[in-house]
Amino acid sequence: MSLVEITPEAHGVAIDLAYATAGNFTGRPVYRTAHCFLHADAAAALLRASVLAREIGHGLLVLDAYRPPEAQQKLWDHTPNPDYVVPPERGSPHSRGVAVDLTLTDAAGRPLDMGTEFDDFTPRAHHDVAELPVAMRRNRCVLLGLMSTAGWDFYRREWWHYQLFDARRYARVSDADAPRRMM
């Protein structure tokens, strides 16, 4: 099995999985149980990013990581918009365990203002939006710099989404094949 559990102790991150709660764009929990997994390669890159963040007085809050294909189908059924939700048949990097949605926190663990909420499906969530106050753009740039330095690629329409380069070379992992079921 290529998925490993992400924990605050082992990876130096806080975890609050949005899809295990009603605090996501569907308005209801998508996961029955909250487990945070990533492929071992992605887990190592997340640890690198966490160390870099701590070195400059910040932290990382993971909002989503591995997402079973069954959950991807639920998201697509709710919002079939390929600009923000990968069609299930294409296979999301999340369903391969090589993508993470996260935000930057201050040293006390409080999320920094990024200009939009997680899962904001508007142009204001794009990396290149210039109409945000400088402090919010700076926060996004710091997160982008940390993640890029740690080996992550980004998705231009979502400031929170990062994935390993060449994500499609990793196999999708069904909920039944995950270390613990989420659906």
150, 31 Cβ separation under 8 angstroms: no
- Angle subtended at Cα 23 by Cα 22 and Cα 28, rounded to the nearest 5 degrees: 25
User: Residue 81 — left, alpha, or beta (φ > 0 → left; ψ -120 to 50 → alpha)?
Assistant: beta
Question: Beta-carbon neighbour count of residue 119 at 10 Å?
Answer: 22
158 is catalytic: yes
Active-site annotation holder among 9, 55, 131, 158: 158
Spatial neighbors of 116 by CB under 8 A, at least 6 apart, are 122, 124, 125, 159
Comparing C-alpha atoms, which of 14, 163, 153 is closest to residue 100? 163
Q: Which residues are catalytic?
A: 158
